[in-house]
């Protein structure tokens, strides 16, 4: 299957040097008068006296006057479909097709530019954006300024109205139930982070998830530790523990913390 593209060559020479030629209608004939218009053939247009008609220049191979048979797999619709399925195959088909060279180069250039944007430009932009994105906790305040800016919140009050404290400096005392590591999908930069599943030391059937963002004095707290943390209210998140259990609860980004001695 395929189709014919282009047009038939109209430049073929039909000059008949052995016949007379009418100067008006261009008809070739063997007698003295034109059989179409009846005009007598002048001497300069008779066979043997007539100057040969200059042959027109032939178009180069691939010119628009040539007839080209295009197979179905070189049709534009099929090339476009293949570009969506496999850009590599689509580009090969386009490059080998009998379409105009300038058109092919333009389309291939556009495709390569789009591929560079998709596979290089967007990831690079995302990486630079994440690198310049603000961290989970404020790093401009000193330790003393940060602690002074925190409002002491009752854990249950925070749990019940966590959305009101999002982005605010908060302080609370909690008991660590377990430590775990999970992928921080909700974070600007992503990547794995350390979390603590905590509860109110005074009791209560609720959890608060603490994201470890300690600015100094990094330490691993263990189950049973009672800690006073200073951080910033965050969105409710869902994390997995090592047993595959999901924990969904309000969270706090912990910038500073200290262990409360029993």
pLDDT tens, N- to C-terminus, the chain (262 residues): 555 454 444 444 467 888 888 888 888 888 888 888 888 888 888 888 887 666 555 544 444 455 567 888 888 889 888 888 888 888 888 888 888 889 889 989 998 898 888 888 877 766 665 455 456 889 999 999 999 999 999 999 999 999 999 999 999 999 999 988 776 655 544 567 889 999 999 988 899 999 999 998 888 899 999 999 999 999 898 888 777 788 899 999 999 999 998 7
- Is 24 a member of any domain? no
Q: Are residues 156 and 233 in the same domain?
A: yes
Of 3, 10, 39, 5, nearest to 23 by C-alpha is 39
Give pLDDT, residue 28. Answer: 85
Q: Which residues contact 145 (CB under 8 A, 6 or more apart)?
A: none
Q: Are residues 127 and 189 in the same domain?
A: no
CA 213, CA 194: separation in Å to the nearest integer? Answer: 8
CA 219, CA 216: separation in Å to the nearest integer? Answer: 9
Q: Are residues 148 and 116 in the same domain?
A: no
CA 48, CA 170: separation in Å to the nearest integer? Answer: 111
- Is 126 a member of any domain? yes
Q: Are residues 160 and 229 in the same domain?
A: yes
Give pLDDT, residue 208. Answer: 95
Q: Are residues 252 and 155 in the same domain?
A: yes
- Is 166 a member of any domain? yes
Q: Are residues 180 and 215 in the same domain?
A: yes
DSSP string, 215-252: SSS-----TT-EEEEEEEEEEEEEEE-TTS-EEEEEEE
Last residue of a domain, one of 85, 106, 132: 132
Give pLDDT, residue 38. Answer: 84
- Report the number of distinct structural domains present in the chain: 2
- Is 249 a member of any domain? yes
- Is 27 a member of any domain? no
Residue 82: domain span? 62-132
Give pLDDT, residue 37. Answer: 84
Last residue of a domain, one of 132, 156, 172: 132
Q: Are residues 183 and 247 in the same domain?
A: yes
Give pLDDT, residue 63. Answer: 45
| Inter-residue contact 253 to 137 (CB < 8 Å) | yes
Q: Return the SS3 of 112.
A: helix
Q: Are residues 196 and 99 in the same domain?
A: no
Q: Are residues 186 and 234 in the same domain?
A: yes
Q: Return the SS3 of 121.
A: helix
Q: Are residues 194 and 108 in the same domain?
A: no
Give pLDDT, residue 228. Answer: 96
To which H or E segment does residue 175 belong? strand 169-183
DSSP string, 125-174: HHHHHHHHS--SS--SS-HHHHHHHPEE--HHHHHHTGGGGBTSEEEEEE
Last residue of a domain, one of 132, 158, 173: 132
Which tokens in the block code for residue 109?
Answer: 């250039």
Q: Are residues 116 and 151 in the same domain?
A: no
pTM: 0.50
Q: Are residues 122 and 152 in the same domain?
A: no
């Amino acid at each position: 299957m395929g189709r014919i593209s282009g047009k038939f060559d109209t430049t073929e020479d039909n000059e008949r040097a052995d016949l007379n030629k009418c100067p008006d209608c261009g008809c070739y004939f063997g007698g003295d008068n034109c059989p179409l218009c009846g005009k007598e053939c002048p001497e300069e247009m008779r066979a043997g006296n007539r100057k040969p008609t200059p042959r027109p220049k032939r178009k180069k191979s691939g010119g628009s006057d040539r007839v080209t048979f295009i197979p179905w797999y070189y049709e534009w619709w099929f090339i476009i479909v293949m570009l969506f399925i496999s850009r590599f195959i689509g580009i090969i088909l386009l490059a080998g097709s009998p379409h105009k060279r300038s058109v092919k180069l333009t389309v291939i250039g556009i495709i390569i530019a789009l591929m560079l944007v998709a596979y290089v430009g967007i990831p690079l932009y995302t990486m630079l954006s994440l690198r310049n994105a603000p961290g989970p906790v404020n790093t401009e305040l000193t330790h003393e300024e940060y602690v002074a800016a925190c409002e002491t919140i009752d854990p249950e009050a925070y749990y019940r109205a966590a959305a009101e404290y999002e982005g605010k400096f908060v302080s609370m005392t909690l008991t660590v139930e377990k430590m775990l590591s999970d992928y921080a999908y909700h974070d600007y930069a992503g990547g794995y982070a350390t979390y603590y599943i905590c509860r109110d030391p005074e009791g209560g059937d609720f959890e608060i998830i603490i994201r470890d963002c300690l600015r100094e004095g990094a330490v691993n707290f263990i189950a049973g530790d009672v800690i006073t943390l200073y951080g910033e209210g965050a969105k409710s998140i869902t994390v997995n523990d090592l047993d595959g259990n999901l924990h969904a609860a309000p969270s706090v980004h912990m910038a500073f913390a200290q262990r409360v001695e029993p």
